[in-house]
Structure 1
Amino acid sequence: MSEQAALAGKVALVAGATRGAGRAMAVELGRAGATVYATGRTTRDHVSEVGRTTETIEETGELITAAGGEGIAVPTDHLEPEQVKALVERIDRDHGRLDVLVNDIWGGEHLLEFGENTKVWQYDLGKGLRMLELGVKTHIITSHYALPLLIRRPGGLVIEVTDGTADYNGPNYRENLFYDLTKNAPIRMAFGLGKELQESGCTAVSITPGFLRSEQMLDVMGITEENWREGIKQLHAFCIAESPVYIGRAVAALAADPDVARWNGQSLSSGQLAQAYGFTDTDGTRPDAWRYMTDMELAGKDLDDTGYR
């Protein structure tokens, strides 16, 4: 079967697909032939709290279709149970099946605060709780409504997207308590869902990109995808950065793997899956950001990317 047809006839829901990793995952699933429902809060007529107008969920739908799949953009706030319920009912009416659920909802970068005054009693409580709502509560609501449709057929796949692997996050405190909880929760969710889905012949995993060159990150650093290596002058660790396409290819590879159950309940990364499935980033390399980050911290100094691509 060709790469283009690997997911022909399959139906996917990528929750949180307006930009970045979510958009790339949706597009690469479409490139493999899937019908992809892409959700998000920013549309051509409405801007979410993220505050970016340069990417919309409608554009993601068009990119999926242009890649060879069928892109269906559905504006959805995943904190609103009735909206999520209606979304799943629509997928059921349209197809009667759901083969892949990608829980990528986040959009909380504007809530992050770094520095000395980030202890739980010093952090803005409203921002911290909103972070947990966006990165944890949304995933739970979506799974609650979507999983009854997914488990109708054996072989269904749930992918919980986060920041960091279990191996990396375990010994490392992720900036502040709210962010640490938010980004560790999907890892535990995948473990728990793996247990709950096993009897239905379905699989759950968590997955993380490495140092992601998202649209927002590129804008913050004042660079583009074409000249991204200029960012290394500002932050040396940017040398290990990867494009969103890399994590997109990782998700497409998982979704097309008939033996995907071997990963059930595990915490995975784009770099790890590139080695397992043989895909590369857009530049032909295989960046392994989490191994790089771990080694750099152990060395206590900046490292170049030799041996990590």
Structure 2
Amino acid sequence: MTGASRGVGKGIALGLGEQGATVFVTGRTEVGGPPTTPLDGTVQGTAEEVTAVGGRGVAIACDHRDDEQTKRAVARVAAETGRLDVLVNNVWGGYEYFWDGTEFWLEQGFWTVPIDRWDAMFQAGVRAHYVTSAAAAPTMVAQGSGLIVNVSSDAAGKDDAGVPYGVAKAATDRMVACMAHDLRPHGVAAVSLYPGLVRTESVLRAAEYFDLSDSESPQFVGRAVAALAADPDVIRHTGQVVRSADLGRQYAFTDLDGRRPGTNDKPFRL
């Protein structure tokens, strides 16, 4: 589980932990280390919470902009467990403008956007997803099963998403389709996952700008991944875009409050 110190990545780790999974979580923010954002959360903290909800959390400090760190992290998982059932690529870059003082709302047109934002999204996002997947694929191919999930966004199909972000997410989706072509004969599935509006730490800090009435918790996204991982016929989804809200209806799971986001359902009770 990459990029899991906080946000969607942490929520996915917890969703897998709920099902008793051993979850190796990676991130740059360590207990006692220098802050990487002004937001709370560390890779060790996420691992502890995974264990608390019923799984086994293992923290690996890793900066996925460094290919060698990525390869070492994947090799450690394979060495310690002998297999790799699910890889979730969530790490991303280019969000620094949310806390570095950049008045990004003044950017009107792609020509006003710093070039390094493109580089950050493709290096810490698209490239990191590719390198981690390439490192994990041999283990999955050898065992004849596995699931790779790339966290993406419907920005991939929106013309108003901003050029760097929209192109990077479209590249992520296309990468999944091509990976799925290579992996299908080996019984390994690859999908792009679109969460809805997720109540991450960043979103909650700016809650006045969002309509959260039909939003989802980070852990709901985790339950979507857990449902896919538990599906013996998950290969039918390979190469596709799947949405967390649609998976909630298909696999009949709910959010922490009993609701199914994306439907405006009333709280669900057994």
- State the TM-score, normalizing by the size of structure 1: 0.79
Work out which of the residue numbers 255, 263, 281 in structure 1 matches 2:255: 281
99, 113, 119: which one aligns with 2:109:
119
Unaligned 5+ residue runs, structure 1? Answer: 1-13, 222-230, 290-304
Once the two structures are superposed, the pairs formed by residues 1-309 of structure 1 within 5 Å of their partners are 14-47=1-34, 49-52=36-39, 54-111=40-97, 114-115=104-105, 117-164=107-154, 169-170=156-157, 172-221=158-207, 231=208, 234-235=209-210, 237-288=211-262, 305=264
Q: CA deviation at 1:116?
A: 6.3
Structure 2: any 5+ residue segments left out of the alignment? none
Alpha-carbon shift at residue 273 of structure 1 (Å): 0.2
Q: 1:79 offset after TM fit, Å?
A: 1.2
- Output the CA distance in 1 between the equivalents of 2:51 and 2:201: 21
> Structure 2: how far apart are the matches of 1:216 and 1:120?
23
Q: 2:97 and 2:118 mapped to 1: Cα distance?
A: 7
Contact kept? 1:28, 1:249, Cα under 8 Å:
yes
Tell me the CA shift for residue 69 of structure 1: 1.2
Alpha-carbon distance in structure 1 between the residues aligned to 2:34 and 2:19 = 30
Root-mean-square deviation over aligned CA pairs:
2.1
Deviation of 1:256 after TM superposition, in Å, equals 0.6
Distance in 2 of aligned mates of 1:150 and 1:139: 16
Gap change, CA 1:93 and 1:65, over 3 Å in 2? same
Q: Cα distance, 1:62 vs. partner?
A: 0.4
2:9 is aligned with what amino acid? G
Q: In the aligned structure 2, how far is the partner of 1:111 from the partner of 1:131? A: 12
State the TM-score, normalized to the length of structure 2. Answer: 0.90
Contact 1:132–1:181 under 8 Å retained in 2: no
Q: Compared with structure 1, are the counterparts of its residues 191 and 48 closer, same or farther at alpha carbon in structure 2 (3 Å cutoff)? A: farther
Partner of 1:10: none
Answer whether contact 1:41 1:47 (CA < 8 A) is retained: no
> How far, CA to CA, are the matches of 1:174 and 1:96 in structure 2?
44
Structure 1 contact 160–189 (Cα < 8 Å) conserved: no
Matching residue's letter, 1:130? A
Secondary structure at the counterpart of residue 238 of structure 1? coil
- Secondary structure, counterpart of 2:87 in structure 1: strand
Shift of 1:128: 2.5
- How far off its partner does 1:106 sit? 1.4
State the alpha-carbon separation in 2 of the partners of residues 247 and 55 from structure 1: 18
Q: Answer whether contact 1:101 1:158 (CA < 8 A) is retained.
A: yes
Identity %: 39
